[in-house]
């Protein structure tokens, strides 16, 4: 995995077509942000919108501090809740090919400010980064 810059973020580029290989789909390159780097941004209070794509129950059990809950099941109705002008970091507890698909949909809708948390919520938690319990707003 190769690290490259995304604004002030370090990213690893993975193509959605490679992530979804064998499924007949292709898409834009999916920028991944390492959990440790994302944690430093959160700690510094950087202007970063964290979008949790997991279920409301999973979100209530624990999420990254400051994250917004936009469950995959309601993404179509809630896409307006994802800003287009601030940096956005998507995460879930799903395979890379699934979140790459979400990334591709947002890209087709004109979003150019989003990336994906490498290793998702599980990777964040496994590295001992802060988790906040509580229901979605």
Closest CA to 50 of 83, 3, 97: 83
- How many whole angstroms separate alpha carbon 12 and alpha carbon 32? 5
- How many whole angstroms separate alpha carbon 6 and alpha carbon 115? 9
Question: The whole model's pTM is what?
Answer: 0.79
Task: Examine the pLDDT at 78 and tell me if it is beyond 60.
Answer: yes
The catalytically annotated residue of 92, 100, 102, 118 is 92
Q: How confident is the prediction for the chain on average, in pLDDT?
A: 82
Give the per-residue pLDDT at 87. 94
Strand partners, 115: 89
Is 94 marked active-site? Answer: no
- Domains in the chain with CATH codes: 3-126 (3.40.250.10)
Give the per-residue pLDDT at 135. 79
């Amino acid at each position: 995995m190769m690290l490259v810059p995304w604004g002030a973020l370090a990213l690893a580029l993975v193509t959605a077509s490679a992530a979804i290989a064998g499924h007949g789909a292709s898409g834009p390159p999916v920028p991944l942000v390492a959990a440790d780097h994302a944690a430093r941004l959160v700690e510094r209070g950087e202007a970063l919108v964290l979008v949790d794509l997991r279920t409301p129950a999973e979100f209530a059990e624990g999420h990254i501090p400051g994250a917004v809950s936009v469950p995959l099941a309601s993404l179509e109705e809630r896409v307006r809740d994802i800003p287009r002008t601030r940096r956005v970091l998507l995460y879930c507890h799903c395979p890379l090919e699934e979140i790459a698909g979400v990334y591709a949909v947002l890209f087709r809708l004109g979003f150019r400010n989003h990336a994906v948390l490498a290793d998702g919520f599980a990777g964040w938690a496994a590295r001992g980064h802060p988790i906040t319990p509580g229901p979605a707003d």
